[in-house]
Structures are given as C-alpha cells and as structure tokens.
Amino acid sequence: MRFTSNSKHRYTRQLILIMMNESKIKEKVCNFGNLYDALWKCKRNVGWKDSVAGYVKNGLVNCLTLREQLMNGTYEISKYTMFKVYEPKERDIVSTRIKDRVFQRSLCDNYLTEEISRSFIYDNCACQEGKGTKFARDRLKSHLQRFYRKHGVEGYVLKCDLSNFFGSTRHDVAIAAVEKRVGDAWAVSEVTRIIKSFNQGENPDVGMGLGSQVTQLVQLAVLDDFDHYIKEQLHIKHYIRYNDDFVLIHEDKDYLRNCKALIEKWVTDLGLKLSPKKTQLFPITQPIHFLGFSFRLTATGKVVMKLLPEKISHERRKLRKLVARAKAGHLTREQVDECFKSWKAHAEQGDTHNLVRKMYEYYQELWR
C-alpha cells in the first residue's frame, strides 16, 4: 500500500488516537479506586470465607499490588478451584480466586459490559443490570398475554435448552464473539487470556468456568447473533432467552418444527447441542416450565404462574434441615427466619397465596 504525505499523516494520527483511547480504558479499569470498589462488591455474601476475609483485611495493599501488576504486565491468573453444586441441578463449578474476581469485576463494570451488551436484544435476560430471573419471568408472562390478544389460545411453544452450555463452548467461538463486539485491543487480550485459562479436561480448547463474571458475559455474546437470527431471520416475535434456556411462541406448529431444525443446525455449527429431554414442542395451553415456575395460559387470557412441585419439595427439605441445625445450636432462629423470608419473597412472584400460607404453617410447626 502506497501512502501520500497527507494519508500517512492521517493514518499516524488515527493510530495515535486509537492508542490513547486504549490507554484510557486500561487506566480506567485498573484505576485504584475502581479496583477497590470492585473488591467490596466481590466481598458481598462471601466475606465469611477465609480467603476473602484475608484478602479484604489487606485490601488497600492488595488492590495497589493488583493495579501495579496489571499496568506493568506481570498479572497472572491464579489457579482455579473446582467443585460441584447440586441445586437447581448438578453442575461443575470452576471457582475464580478473589484477586481475579476483583479485576474481572472492574473490567466488566467499567468497560466490558456496556461494550458487549450494546447489541443484545431486549429479551436476552441474564447477567445484566436491571435484568435477571424476575425480569425474564415477567417478560415471558408479557409475551403470552400479547400473543393471546392477537391469536387467543391457538398457538404453540418451542422450548429449548442447551446441553452443558458452559462446558461445551469452544474457545475460538467465544473469542470471535468478543472480538466482534469489543473495540479495545487490551480488553480483548485480557478476555482472551481468561477464556484460554479454562483449559482443563480432555479438550483444552473447549469449555469455560461457570463462576467467572467475564465468562458469563461472554456466553451471552456467544448466542447474541443467534438471538438476532431468531428475531430477524425467522421472524419470531415472541421469543425470550435466559442464558441457555429459551422459548419461542408462534401460531403455526409446522413453522416452529422447521425453526427447531434450523436451530439445531445453528447450534451444531457452534459446537453446541440441544438437550433432547428439555427441548419440546407443545400447544400453548400446556404449562411452560421456565426458571422454577410453571406458566399456564388459560382460555380467558390469564397467565397462571405456579412454583414447580420439585421446588416446593426442595424447600420443605431445606427448612427441615435448617430448623434442625438451629435447634442443635449451629444457627440462630433469626438466620433461619431470613432464609424463609427470602423463599417467601421468591414464591410470591407467582400465584401462590395458598402455597405460601401452607408453607408458613408448616414452618411454624417445625419449631414446635
């Protein structure tokens, strides 16, 4: 490529502006105040852990050291801790150390979240400020009501779930999703390093940890193009996704069947797979199980929202164990009461007046 003196000057000026912008982003993310704020956000609800308490005790020094490492390029990601959780289902969790969580929190809060999420559709509901499980449930309820106003109960639902979403995502796919949405080279390199740090297992180029804030955001970006494909190419007006769980509503059963085949091809090309047990096509009058609740559209257009039976059974078992521990002196009555109040607030999102009353009576009986 040949440059004139003017074009060389413009190219040099653009390069300098890009470098200055990248320097500002790095400085903002690695700013001591932002790192210290991130530390206190990361401490919430886990301050009782020895590793967290020890890091917070010397928080000022640790944040200053972390800043220096990030600025001079000596920062290294610590080794992960791996364990299993069994609620709401069995999952392998790769836990990120507090030092790395602080950096990732500052990176997400001060740059990455806004940069990556600007192309997200409104009904991409997970891991974003102002959104979450309650927002997703409200959106599904709204979609059912809007569908009813136009089509009544003459419609169908395609509910899909991806098998082992985090554990099956290829690193090259995740990195490509980040590079497409993030303009800052330093941020891209840091996110790429985080993605590649999850290299455990038989295939080191596949899978990311569920306990990382960055990977949760990246996973939303991995399916961002998929969301736009559903809305803009398949023209599904009533569509909602929470992480790897998504719902399509349409008046034509055959069209949804065709959509299912196209979706399978799309996710297969990404190296992912639909869960055969949780991917179903059924009439809209049947209950939709979504995020712990059952949604049922009635003939009058009302959406009845109930807790799933297995969630109720789980809460009863949990309360029995907590009350037993309190009677043994390992917990206080106030701590157990707070757990019950938390569940009650969750349950009251649905049509559960009688359930909550019966559960309260059951809870009081446990203390007698």
pLDDT at residue number 323: 94
Outline where the chain has alpha helix (H). Answer: 5-29, 32-43, 50-57, 59-72, 98-107, 113-117, 133-151, 165-168, 171-181, 185-196, 213-222, 224-228, 253-269, 309-327, 333-347, 353-367
pLDDT at residue number 1: 46
- Residue 186 CB-density burial (10 A; 0-12 exposed, 13-18 middle, 19+ buried): middle
Alpha carbon distance 301, 146 (integer Å): 9
The pairing of strands 238-242 and 245-250 is antiparallel
Residue 206's closest CA among 117, 116, 125, 273? 273
pLDDT at residue number 5: 55
Half-sphere exposure of 118 (CA within 13 A, CB side): 10
pLDDT at residue number 4: 55
If DSSP states are collapsed to H, E and C, what string results for 114-130?
HHHHCCCCCCECCCCCC
Reading the chain (368 residues) residue by residue, the pLDDT tens digits are 454 555 555 555 554 444 445 578 999 999 999 999 999 999 887 888 888 899 999 999 999 999 999 999 999 999 887 776 666 666 667 788 999 999 999 999 999 999 999 999 999 998 888 899 999 999 999 999 999 999 999 999 999 999 999 989 999 999 999 999 999 999 999 999 999 998 866 778 998 887 789 999 999 999 999 999 999 999 999 999 999 999 999 999 999 999 999 999 999 999 999 999 999 999 999 999 999 999 999 999 999 999 999 999 999 999 999 999 999 999 899 999 999 999 999 999 999 999 999 999 999 999 98
pLDDT at residue number 210: 79
pLDDT at residue number 209: 82
Please compute Rg for the chain using Cα positions.
Answer: 24
Tell me the two tokens of residue 269.
């090309």
Alpha carbon distance 87, 93 (integer Å): 12
pLDDT at residue number 10: 59
Alpha carbon distance 176, 166 (integer Å): 16
Alpha carbon distance 56, 44 (integer Å): 11
